[in-house]
Structure 1
C-alpha cells in the first residue's frame, strides 16, 4: 500500500528521510558541538565572556532572519531547489570558520550558519508534511526528531572529546564536509512537492511571488489566533532548553569548575529525556487526538518546571537542576511535533509561508528569551537560571489554553 502522497520508491524514501535528518542534525550540531570550546574561542580572540551565550543567540537569530522569504520562495520555486541552496550555504559558512581572525567575524559566520536552521524549518518540514500522510508525517517528525536530538545529547560530549585532538576550527571544517554529503543525498533523493500531481489527486501549484501579497498573508496569519497561540507556545515551551544550551558552559564550566567532559556528560539526561518524550508520543499517537496528547504532555512539563523552581531552595545543586530539566524535557518531547502540526494546519495558506511564520515566531521567542535570561543573570548562578528558565517555560500556558479550547 502506498503510504506517501507522492510516488516514491523505497530507496528514495529512505534517502530523502536520511538527507533531511542529516541536515537537521548538522544544524544543531553546529551549535552544540562548539559550546564546550566557546571559552577557548573568546580567550583566543581576547573577547568578553558574554560572547559565549551571544554566539548561540546569534545562531538562533540567523534561523529567523530569512524565514519570512525562504517559505514564500519555496512555495514559488519548489521545496527541493530552496533546500539545496540552504544546505550549500550552511556547508560554506561552516567551512569558512577555519579562516576567522576575530570574534566579530566568528559571530557573522554563526549568524549565516543559523540560516541553515531556517531552511530546515521553512522548507524541509513542509516537504515532509506534503510527501507523507498525516499520521505518518507526525510520526516521522517525532522519530526523525529523535535522531536530530542525538546532536544536543551527544554533541557537547563528542565536541569535548574531539577537542582533545582537534581545534575548534577543524570541527567546523568537518561539519562543512558532512553538510556537503547531505547536499548530495538531497540532490539524488528529494522529490519536488510543488507543481506535482499527488496520489490523492490533489495538485499544489506554485504560488505567485508578490511581496505586497506576502505581507498581507503574513498579516492574516498574525490575525489567526489559533496559529499565533500555537506558534508562541512552541517558542515558550522550548525556551528553558534553549537557555540551558546557551548558558550551560558558563554555569557548569566557569562557575562550577567542571571539565569539558563533565559538562558534556551532564547534557545527556536532559536530551535523552526529550527522546523519551518523542517515543512516548509515537506510542500514544494511534489512540489519542492531538489536543489530548498536549494535555498529557503538560503533566511532566509543568512538574519539571515546578521542580526547577524548587531547586532554587538547594545549595547550587547540579543533579537536582538536571533532574528537573529532564522531567520538563519529557513533556517537551511529547508535545513539540503535535503542536507544530496544529500550528501548520491552523491556516489554509501555503505551507511554506505558514511554516516560515511558525519558525520566525517560535525562534524569535527562543532567541529573545534566551538573551533576556542571560541579561538577567541566568548565566551567573544556578538559582537565577532556574528562576528565569522556569518562568519563561510557564509563559506557554496562556497561549496553550487558547489552542486547546479550539
Structure 2
C-alpha cells in the first residue's frame, strides 16, 4: 500500500500521529552529527564484537560449551531488544539526551562488573545489562535522525552514520585480538568501560537536545501500549521492520559463528581471525557508502529489494560451496562478503522507509524497529552452535533468513506500491 496519511477518526489520540513533523530544531553539520551519533552507536558493535576472538578461551576458562558461550551474545541482543522498547517511548516523553546518557552509564557499570563475573551465568546476565545500556544509543540515534531528516535525506544520513558505525565491527575483533596478547578476556570489558566513559563525556558536552518540549509525547504505560498497538496495525511498517530484523539475523549469524568457523574449522589464530573479520566488514561499509550514490537514481525501496535478493543469492552460494567442500577458506569468506555487501544496502533503507511516516512518535517507532532487529538476531544466533558451528550451518541459516526477508518484502510490504518518500528542504543538506 502507499504510505499516505489516514483520515482523522476518533482513535487519533491512541494512534501514532501521521502528520508532517513540526519545524525541526537547528541542525548541527551532518558530518559532526554523524561522528557524534556514530561514537554512541559504535558502542553496540564494539560490545558485541570485541570479545569474539576470546569465545573459545571463555568456553575453556568457565568450563562450558560453545553453544552456552554463544548465549552470552544472545543475552546482549536480548538486552538490546527489550531495552529499546522501554527507552524509545522514554525518549519521546523526556527528550533524547537524558535516556541516551543514562543508558550509556548503565553500560559502563555492567562492563566493570564483568571483571569479577565468576560464572557463565553471571557473565550472561551482565551481558543483558550491557545490551540494555547500548539500546539507548541504538534507538536514540535513529530517533535523532528522524527528528532532523526525512525521506532520502534520512536514508543518506543513516548511510553516513553506518560509515562511522562500520569502523567498529572492522576494528573490534582486531582490537580484541590485540588486547588478548597482553590481558585476559576480562581486559576486553575493561576497555569497553573506558570507551563508554569517553562517549558519555562526548554526549554531555557535544550533543544538543533535538526534541523540543512542545513535540514530546507522554501518555504513561497505557499511552505507550496504545502507540505500539497503532504501529503494529500498519502492515507496511510491520513488514519493513520484519525485513530489517531478518537481515540483521543473517548478519548476527555471521557474527556469532565466524569465530568458531574461522578459528576451529580453518585453524586461524585470534589475530588472523580479527584481520579476516575486518576484511568482511569492509564490504558492509562499502555498501552503506554506495547507498547515497544509488539514492540519486533509485528509490530506497528498489535498493532494499536489490539488497535482500542479492544477499539470498550470496547465502545460497555459500551453502552450496560449504556442502560440497569447495574453495576452502575463501570458498566461505568470499560468499560471506557478498552477504555483508547486500546487508549494507538493505540496512539503511529498511529503517528509513519504516520511520518515514512517524515523525511524532519517532522514538517508539525506532524502538519497535530495533527490538525486532535485535530480537530476531537473538533468536537466530544460537542456531549456528546448535547446528554444529561450521560453514554449512552458517550458510543454511543465512540463506533461510534472507529468503524469508524476500518473501515478507514481496507478500507483506509490496514495495512496488510504496511511494518514493518526498523530501523537504532538508534533502539539500544531505548532498
Q: Which residue of 2 aligns with 1:355?
A: 366
Q: Which residue of 1 aligns with 2:199?
A: 182
> Shift of residue 207 of structure 1?
0.8
Please say if 1:7 is aligned against 2:16: no
Which structure 2 residues correspond to residues 47-196 of structure 1 after superposition, within 5 A?
A: 47-132=64-149, 134-195=151-212
Which 10-residue stretch deviates more, 346-355 or 173-182? 346-355
Find the aligned partners of 1:335 and 1:386 in 2 and give their Cα distance. 19
Structure 1 SS opposite 2:115: helix
Find the aligned partners of 2:248 and 2:291 in 1 and give their Cα distance. 17
Q: Which residue of 1 aligns with 2:379?
A: 368
Please say if 1:333 is aligned against 2:350: no
Alpha-carbon contact 1:68-1:356 (below 8 Å) kept: yes
Q: 2:243 aligns with which of 209, 233, 253?
A: 233
Find the aligned partners of 1:206 and 1:166 in 2 and give their Cα distance. 46
> Shift of residue 378 of structure 1?
4.5
Query: Cα–Cα, structure 1 residues 370 and 331, in superposed 2: closer, same or farther, change >3 Å?
Result: same
Q: Which residue of 1 aligns with 2:305?
A: 295
Alpha-carbon contact 1:221-1:228 (below 8 Å) kept: yes
Q: Once the two structures are superposed, what CA deviation does each residue of 1:248-307 show, in whole Å capped at 9, x if it has no partner? A: 222222333321122222213321111111121021122322212223334532331221
Alpha-carbon contact 1:236-1:394 (below 8 Å) kept: no
Please say if 1:394 is aligned against 2:411: no
Q: Which residue of 2 aligns with 1:284?
A: 294
- TM-score normalised over the length of structure 1: 0.90
Find the aligned partners of 1:178 and 1:14 in 2 and give their Cα distance. 21
Please say if 1:19 is aligned against 2:36: yes
Query: Cα–Cα, structure 1 residues 311 and 63, in superposed 2: closer, same or farther, change >3 Å?
Result: same
Find the aligned partners of 2:111 and 2:181 in 1 and give their Cα distance. 20
Structure 1 SS opposite 2:211: coil
Find the aligned partners of 2:188 and 2:145 in 1 and give their Cα distance. 30
Alpha-carbon contact 2:319-2:396 (below 8 Å) kept: yes
Q: Once the two structures are superposed, what CA deviation does each residue of 1:326-352 show, in whole Å capped at 9, x if it has no partner? A: 112111111211110111124465111
Query: Cα–Cα, structure 1 residues 49 and 306, in superposed 2: closer, same or farther, change >3 Å?
Result: closer
Alpha-carbon contact 1:142-1:281 (below 8 Å) kept: yes
Q: Once the two structures are superposed, what CA deviation does each residue of 1:167-216 show, in whole Å capped at 9, x if it has no partner? A: 222221121111111111111121212225xxxxxxx5221232122222
Q: 2:319 aligns with which of 300, 309, 325?
A: 309
Structure 2 SS opposite 1:396: helix
> Where in structure 2 are there 5+ consecutive unaligned residues?
1-22, 418-431
Q: For this pair of structures, how many residues does the alignment match?
A: 392
Please say if 1:383 is aligned against 2:392: yes
Q: Which residue of 2 aligns with 1:200?
A: none
Please say if 1:257 is aligned against 2:274: no
Find the aligned partners of 1:9 and 1:27 in 2 and give their Cα distance. 23
- TM-score normalised over the length of structure 2: 0.85
> Where in structure 1 are there 5+ consecutive unaligned residues?
197-203
